[in-house]
């Protein structure tokens, strides 16, 4: 059972890293699932407190990824119309455009939202769009950092045992 859990831990953690970039794949959640698989192995030394901390990080990072486009649009000088546009662009981009849609959807949504509000203020519209794009970059960075740390924990906890299995078998 330990071998199966170790393989699942590595696979889930690796797919979690990929899922931070690929839309529709919950990267941080998969990374946490890999951490849980590693902790269920009989040789695991991961404390329960670490699992609770990473559960909290997973929830916060996942929630922040949904909230950031609106917040960053607002911080970049956007109005409520830009925030709504960024949110709508994120949803439409996710449903229709895959990776490119997720990256560019909030940007164009914020720009269109601001331009619908005031056609004369194109500078504000593009600042608002840039804020939503920056939110994508920050959100992706947070997800990659969290998933990378979890993969590191899985690696550190699992690798010595996996290495000894390989040495015994081969």
The pLDDT of residue 78 is 81
Whether residue 76 is predicted with pLDDT greater than 90 in this model: the reply is: no
pLDDT of 50 above 90: yes
**Residues 102 and 90 sit within 8 Å (Cβ to Cβ):** yes
Give pLDDT, residue 149: 95
DSSP class per residue in 139-167: HHHHHHHHHHHHHHHHHHHHHHHHHHHHH
**What number is the average pLDDT over the span 144-165?**
87
Tokens of 55: 């559960």
pLDDT more than 70, % of the chain: 100
Residue 157 near residue 47, CB atoms below 8 Å:
no
Measured CA to CA, the distance from residue 8 to residue 17 in angstroms comes to 14
Length of the chain counted residue by residue: 170
pLDDT score for 48: 93
């Amino acid at each position: 059972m330990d071998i199966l859990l170790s393989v699942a831990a590595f696979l889930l953690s690796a797919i979690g890293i990929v899922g931070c970039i690929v839309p529709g794949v919950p990267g941080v959640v998969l990374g946490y699932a890999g951490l849980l698989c590693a902790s269920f192995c009989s040789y695991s030394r991961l404390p329960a407190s670490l699992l609770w901390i990473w559960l909290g990080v997973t929830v916060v990072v996942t929630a922040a990824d949904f909230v950031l486009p609106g917040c960053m649009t607002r911080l970049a000088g956007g109005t409520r119309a830009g925030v709504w546009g960024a949110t709508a662009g994120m949803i439409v981009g996710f449903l229709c455009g895959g990776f490119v849609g997720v990256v560019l959807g909030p940007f164009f949504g914020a720009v269109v939202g601001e331009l619908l509000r005031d056609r004369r203020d194109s500078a504000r519209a593009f600042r608002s769009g840039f804020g939503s794009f920056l939110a994508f970059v920050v959100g992706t960075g947070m997800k990659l950092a969290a998933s990378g740390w979890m993969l590191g924990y899985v690696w550190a906890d699992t690798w010595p045992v996996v290495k000894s299995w390989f040495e015994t078998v081969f």
